[in-house]
C-alpha cells in the first residue's frame, strides 16, 4: 500500500472542540509516555500492553478504561479510536547492545512490524504523527539495516521520518540516552532545505546514515538540547533511617568493599572523607570471571534497567563524615529517576515496580520532545526554520541556519 492510500483525507486534524489532541499509546508499559502527553495537553484515548503487572500499575495511575491488555498481534487497526498521534516504545530486547542482537527479526523487537501492520490497517484514519522510542543500540542493529528498514516501512505508510537522540540526564540525574523516531504524514517543507547540523541530538552517525540512504524520506527539524539545572542524586535519594532493614549488613558491605578496584576504592575514600554525606550509584559487573562493584564517578544514576537479573540492579552508596552505607536502589527512587515521583506503586511488589520502571521512559524527556516537536507538528505551527538532510561532508557546524519557507507543509514525493 502506498503512502497516498493510508494518508487520512487532507491529513485531518482530529483535535476535538476543546482543541485536545488524542493519542494511542502502544507498548504502554506503566504509561509514562502518556504522562508526558497529558502534561502537554494531549489525551490518551487507547493504550495497550501485554504485561499483567504493567497493566496493574497503569490502571492504578491512569484512566483504566483506555487500557487494553493483549498481545499486539491480536490488535486490529479498526479497534483503535480516532487519534492523531500514535506513540510506541517497542521492545528493545533484540536491538540493545546487552541483548541477543537478533534485531527486528527477533521475537520481541520484531513487534515493530506488528505496530506498522496496525497502522496500515488504519487505512485512511492513520494518525498524522507517530513517536517511536528505543535504545541507541537500535541505530547499529544489523549494521544499521534495521533502522533503514524501519524508516523504509514507515515511509511506505506515508510517514516522513526524523530521528532525535534525547538523554534523560538533561532533565533528571539519570544517564539514559534514547532514540526517538518522529514521523509525520505532512512533511516539513523540503524547499526550506538547509543543513543537517550536528548536535548531541543528531550524532554524526545519523547524518552518515541519511547520506547513505538518499532513497529514504527523512527530515530534520532544528532542535537544541535543553540546558537545565538538573542537580544530582541528592534530589532523588530516599533518606532512610539507619535502622531501615534495606541497608546492607556487615558481611555484604565488606564483600562490596573488597570487590572494589583501586580506582573505585580511592573514589570511595574521597567521598567518605567529606564532612557532608553524598550519594553515588554502583553496578555489579563481572571482571575476569569475578563479580566486582563499580561506583560511578558522577552524582548521576546509571541507566535504569529491568530488574530481571542481579546485574541490572543498582546499589546506592551513601558516603561522608567518615562512614559508608550501601543498599539497593528503591522502587520510589526508580520512579523519581523516571520523572514520576508521585506514581502509585501500591498493589505490586518492589521488584515488580522496578521491573516496570526499568523499562519505562523518562517523563520530562518525552515531555520536552512533545512540547518542542510533536505538538507543534500536530498543530502545524512549526517555526519557519528548518533543516533537511544532506549527505555527509556537507554537515554544517552552524546551529543558526535559517531559511524562510514559502509554505510550511509539503507533500511526500517518493512514497
Ligand atoms: C520498552 S517497554 C515500554 C515501556 C513504556 N513506554 C513505559 O513507559 O512503561 C516495552 C513494552 O512492550 C510490551 N510488550 C512486549 N511484547 C508485547 C506484545 N507482543 N504485545 C503488546 N505489548 C508487548 C512489554 O510488556 C513492555 O511493557
**Location of each CATH 3.40.50.150 domain in the chain:** 3-229+362-379
Contact 202, 399 (CB under 8 A): no
pLDDT at 162: 94
Taking CA atoms only, the protein residue closest to ligand 1 atom 7 is 360
| Residue 214 φ/ψ, nearest 5 degrees | -65, -15
Q: Please give the pLDDT value at position 188.
A: 80
Q: Which of 30, 49, 132 to mutate to test the pocket of ligand 1 (most atoms within 8 A of CB)?
A: 49
Cα 74 to ligand 1 centroid, rounded to whole Å = 14
Pocket test for ligand 1, best of 29, 31, 56, 308 (most atoms within 8 A of CB): 29
Strand, coil or helix: 83:
coil
| Residue 103 to residue 99: CA distance in whole angstroms | 9
Distance 332 CA to ligand 1 centre (A): 21
Query: pLDDT: is 95 or 112 the higher one?
Result: 112
Residue 1's pLDDT band, with cuts at 50, 70 and 90, is very low
Ligand 1: which of 61, 70, 89, 357 to mutate, judged by most atoms within 8 Å of the beta carbon?
A: 89
Smallest Cα–Cα separation from 334: which of 363, 310, 304, 361? 304
Predicted confidence (pLDDT) at residue 387 exceeds the cutoff of 60: no
What's residue 410's pLDDT? 44
Give the per-residue pLDDT at 190: 54
**Which residues face 387 on adjacent strands?**
220
Model pLDDT for residues 40-51, shown as the tens digit of each residue: 999 999 999 999
**Atom 15 of ligand 1, nearest CA residue:** 91
Q: What is the structure's pLDDT at 316?
A: 97
pLDDT average, residue stretch 76-105: 91
Average pLDDT of the residues in 110-126: 95
Contact 179, 142 (CB under 8 A): no
pLDDT at position 391, please? 35
Q: Which residues are near ligand 1 (CB < 6 Å)?
A: 27-30, 32-33, 48-51, 54, 71-73, 89, 91-92, 111, 359-361
Q: Which residue out of 25, 26, 27 has the highest number of ligand 1 atoms within 8 Å of its CB and is therefore the one to mutate?
A: 27
Average pLDDT, the chain: 86
Topology of domain 3-229+362-379 in CATH is Rossmann fold (3.40.50)
Distance from Cα 31 to the centre of ligand 1, integer Å: 10
Strands (E), 122-267: 129-135, 160-167, 177-184
pLDDT tens profile 161-172:
999 999 999 999
Residue 79, pLDDT score: 96
| CA 352 – ligand 1 centroid, Å | 14
pLDDT for position 100? 78
Ligand 1 atom nearest the C-alpha of 111 is: 19
pLDDT digits (tens, 9 = 90+) for 235-261: 999 999 999 999 999 999 999 999 999
Q: Who's near 18: CB < 8 A, 6+ residues apart?
A: none
What are the phi and psi torsion angles at 41 (to 5°)?
Answer: 80, 15
Instruction: Over range 325-347, report the average pLDDT.
Output: 95
In angstroms, what is the span from residue 6 Cα to ligand 1's centroid?
A: 25
Q: For ligand 1, pick from 91, 135, 138 the residue to mutate: most ligand atoms within 8 Å of CB.
A: 91
What is residue 127's predicted lDDT score, i.e. its pLDDT?
97
Span 3-34, pLDDT tens digits = 444 555 455 666 666 678 999 999 999 999 99
pLDDT above 70: residue 386: no
Distance of CA 290 from the midpoint of ligand 1 (Å):
33
Contacts of residue 58, defined as CB under 8 A and 6 or more positions apart, other chains included, come to: 28, 29, 30, 31, 47, 49, 64, 67
**26 C-alpha to center of ligand 1: Å?**
8
Residue nearest to atom 8 of ligand 1 (CA): 360
CA 184 – ligand 1 centroid, Å: 23
Q: Identify the CA nearest to 94 among candidates 28, 153, 138, 143.
A: 138
CA dist., res. 45 & res. 67, Å (int): 9
Amino acid at each position: 500500500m502506498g503512502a497516498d492510500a493510508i494518508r487520512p483525507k487532507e491529513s485531518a486534524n482530529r483535535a476535538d472542540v476543546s482543541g485536545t489532541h488524542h493519542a494511542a499509546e502502544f507498548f504502554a508499559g506503566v504509561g509514562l509516555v502518556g504522562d508526558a502527553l497529558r502534561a502537554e495537553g494531549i489525551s490518551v484515548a487507547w493504550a495497550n500492553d501485554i504485561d499483567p503487572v504493567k497493566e496493574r500499575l497503569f490502571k492504578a495511575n491512569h484512566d483504566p478504561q483506555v487500557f487494553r491488555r493483549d498481545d499486539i498481534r491480536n490488535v486490529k487497526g479498526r479497534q483503535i479510536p480516532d487519534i492523531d498521534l500514535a506513540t510506541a516504545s517497542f521492545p528493545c530486547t533484540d536491538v540493545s547492545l546487552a541483548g541477543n542482537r537478533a534485531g527486528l527479526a527477533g521475537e520481541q523487537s520484531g513487534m515493530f512490524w506488528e505496530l506498522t501492520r496496525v497502522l496500515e490497517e488504519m487505512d485512511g484514519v492513520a494518525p498524522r504523527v507517530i513517536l517511536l522510542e528505543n535504545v541507541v543500540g537500535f541505530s547499529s542493529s544489523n549494521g544499521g539495516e534495521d533502522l533503514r528498514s524501519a524508516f523504509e516501512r514507515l515511509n511506505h505508510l506515508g510517514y516522513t521520518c526524523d530521528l532525535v537522540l534525547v538523554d534523560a540526564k538533561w532533565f533528571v540525574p539519570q544517564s539514559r540516552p534514547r532514540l526517538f523516531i518522529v514521523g509525520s504524514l505532512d512533511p516539513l517543507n523540503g524547499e526550506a532545505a538547509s543543513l543537517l547540523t550536528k548536535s548531541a541530538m543528531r550524532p554524526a552517525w545519523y547524518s552518515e546514515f541519511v547520506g547513505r540512504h538518499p532513497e529514504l524520506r527523512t527530515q530534520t527539524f532544528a532542535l537544541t538540547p535543553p540546558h537545565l539545572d538538573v542537580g544530582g542524586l541528592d534530589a532523588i535519594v530516599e533518606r532512610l533511617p539507619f535502622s531501615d532493614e534495606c541497608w546492607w549488613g556487615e558481611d555484604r558491605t565488606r564483600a562490596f568493599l573488597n570487590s572494589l578496584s583501586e580506582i573505585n576504592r580511592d573514589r570511595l575514600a574521597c567521598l567518605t572523607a567529606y564532612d557532608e554525606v553524598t550519594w553515588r550509584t554502583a553496578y555489579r559487573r563481572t571482571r575476569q570471571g569475578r563479580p566486582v562493584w563499580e561506583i560511578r564517578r558522577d552524582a548521576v544514576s546509571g541507566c535504569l534497567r529491568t530488574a530481571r537479573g542481579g546485574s541490572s540492579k543498582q546499589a546506592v552508596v551513601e558516603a561522608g563524615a567518615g562512614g559508608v552505607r550501601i543498599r539497593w536502589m528503591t522502587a520510589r527512587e526508580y520512579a523519581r529517576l523516571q520523572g514520576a515521583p508521585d506514581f502509585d506503586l501500591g498493589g505490586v511488589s518492589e521488584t515488580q515496580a522496578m521491573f516496570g520502571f526499568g523499562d519505562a521512559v523518562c517523563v520530562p524527556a518525552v515531555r520536552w520532545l512533545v512540547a518542542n516537536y510533536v505538538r507543534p507538528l500536530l498543530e502545524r505551527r512549526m517555526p519557519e526554520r528548518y533543516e533537511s538532510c544532506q549527505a555527509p561532508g556537507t554537515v554544517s557546524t552552524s546551529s543558526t541556519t535559517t531559511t524562510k519557507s514559502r509554505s510550511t507543509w509539503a507533500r511526500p514525493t517518493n512514497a
